[in-house]
Amino acid sequence: MAKKQKTKKIKLTNSQKKIIAKRQLKMRNRLILRQFGRLRTVFKQLRGEIDPDEQLFISELAWETFSTQLHEQLKKGMLETVAETSNFLVTHRGIDKNLIPAVKNKTLKKLGKEVIAEKVTNIKETTKKTINKIIVNGQAGGKNIRDIAKEITQKVKGMEKTRAMIIARTETATTSTTTYLEGLIKAGLPKTWRHVGGGKTDRPTHLALDNVTIEDASEPFSNGMMCPHDLNADVSELIRCHCELV
């Protein structure tokens, strides 16, 4: 079992924390764009399955294919993010590379098959509900099948940009920060919450935690979260949050 204390504790200045946070954000944005591209393709393929001559519009087989592809891309993005964040911990926080296998294993256990499967189910069901609402409203308004299919096509096309990006941002941030937190815990380093403004989406509890440091990284912050983008936090704490853990 890896020892917890293997990394020399060097107290970071506010300037150093700011630099690390910016570099983290840059790394994460790069990962988000890659994942966005993959997820956008999945939604695009779903759009291609819309049949303008069928009452069901999208077959059950198409939905299953959508689920399978989502699972594959979420897993791919997770593994890529864990790997790059682990490397970041070594290069920017000086964490002993011998601790990295344990960091990766702990993170992957937290973000295992059941977690990914639940995320896929939620995405699929939310997408289905959106499409079903269009169908119900269209039928109630006397629209014909082709007009309803056209509206569904436009909605899914919009999802290729908006929904795919929201999912990519949320999932990449959660995976990256979970990995980072595990690295700090394994190395026995303190953790600092860095608030990165989101404008209208600023949360008072996140603002209050800006630059708050906890010496024992295994302890939660005052808002009950272990870190920004906490895997176990309510979704209201995650969407469009740009905070960083340093």
pTM above 0.85, yes or no: yes
Q: What pLDDT sits at residue 3?
A: 45
Q: What is the DSSP letter of 241?
A: -
How far is Cα 164 from Cα 13, in angstroms, rounded to an integer?
Answer: 37
Q: Given a cut of 60, is residue 1 above it in pLDDT?
A: no
How far is Cα 235 from Cα 123, in angstroms, rounded to an integer?
Answer: 13
Torsion sign, CA atoms 105, 223, 25, 18: negative
How far is Cα 143 from Cα 68, in angstroms, rounded to an integer?
Answer: 32
Average pLDDT on 135-146 reads: 94
Q: What pLDDT sits at residue 56?
A: 87
Angstrom distances, CA of residue 98 to CA of 40, 183, 197: 36, 11, 35
pLDDT band at 18 (very low <50, low <70, confident <90, very high): confident
More confident residue, 35 or 203: 35
Q: Are 2 and 188 in contact (CB under 8 A)?
A: no
How far is Cα 90 from Cα 164, in angstroms, rounded to an integer?
Answer: 30
How far is Cα 210 from Cα 205, in angstroms, rounded to an integer?
Answer: 9
Structure confidence by residue, pLDDT tens digits, 187-245: 999 999 998 766 666 788 888 888 999 999 999 999 999 999 998 888 888 877 888 99
How far is Cα 37 from Cα 99, in angstroms, rounded to an integer?
Answer: 32
What tokens does 210 get? Answer: 């800006």
